[in-house]
A and B are shown apart, each in its own frame.
Chain A
């Protein structure tokens, strides 16, 4: 993947497939330049056996091919930048009230092999456009900006008649995020 934002787009599809209703996507870079990406969902979760296997490129839930590169590619991006990937998951049987998966990855942004974050605005718009029924909380913080989006707040304004996936709404979300990135950079 050319940008981490593409890995985020890809990995988030797994949360949606897992039937998540709420997904929290956060990218937080600390003062030491360590970036922590976290995607947390309230989906069906995975057994400990499955958690071990998703790292393997030859494990997949897809039916069209026998390879699943999503998590292996994220792991590669993290490890080549001196970081790691961790997956914590609870199935409905493990915890009926707190099931879901948290996948987190760390990166040293100073590493020569760090993949740039890239266009998170496009990633968020694409995720929301594809599955407007899910609620997303997005946070992206670094020393120079603090960007956030909570689709539950947008839904409260839009009501039930106007879906988040409407062309005009996606355009608004794109401008809204773009503005936050620009304002904070100045």
Chain B
């Protein structure tokens, strides 16, 4: 493994250590991307990558968890993304792509406004 990269990783660890301790238990939003065969074939990987990248960039890492799940059961709507937030109804986004994911991070996760156009209710 390259020494330079390891030095960078070590620096990263030191920077993050304090932050990680604070993260537990704060009001959290959970973003769940369907990553079964159906989701992957429909393009879930770039959607997941976009959420990971944009949530990190937006500095939302302290209150947003991005996770993966198997088949959600609505394969025809893949890539499907579900957003769970305490005290709020679950939001299901369908037929997602990387650009839509970036918009959801900006408007929904950061701004608190659901992007209606991409929800399952608007796409039946």
Contacts and interface: CB of A to CB of B under 8 A. Distances in A.
A62 interface: yes
Nearest to A170: B52
A115 to B, nearest CB: 12
Nearest to B72: A64
Interface residues of A, number: 37
Contacts of B71: 62, 64-65
B121 interface: no
Contacts of B52: 125, 129, 167, 170
B35 interface: yes
Contacts of B20: 161-163, 166
Contact of B70 (A62, A158, A172): A62
A157 interface: yes
Q: What secondary structure prevails in chain A residues at the interface with B?
A: helix
A126 B53 contact: no
A171 interface: yes
B37 A69 contact: yes
Contacts of B49: 122, 125-126
A9 B40 contact: yes
Given A13-B70, A64-B73, A166 B37 contact: no
A10 interface: yes
Interface in A124-176: 125-126, 129-130, 150, 153-154, 157-159, 161-163, 166-172, 176
A70 B37 contact: yes
A123 interface: yes
Contacts of B75: 65
Q: What secondary structure prevails in chain B residues at the interface with A?
A: helix
Nearest to B39: A10
Interface in B27-76: 35-38, 40-41, 45-46, 48-49, 52-53, 55-56, 61, 66-68, 70-73, 75
Interface residues of B, number: 37
B26 interface: no
Interface string A62-81: 10110011100100000000
B49 to A, nearest CB: 5
A172 B6 CA distance: 10
Contacts of B10: 157
A13 B73 contact: no
A6 interface: yes
Contacts of B12: 162, 168-169, 172
Interface of B: 1-2, 5-6, 8-10, 12-13, 15-17, 20-21, 35-38, 40-41, 45-46, 48-49, 52-53, 55-56, 61, 66-68, 70-73, 75
Interface of A: 1, 6, 9-10, 13, 62, 64-65, 68-70, 73, 119, 122-123, 125-126, 129-130, 150, 153-154, 157-159, 161-163, 166-172, 176, 179
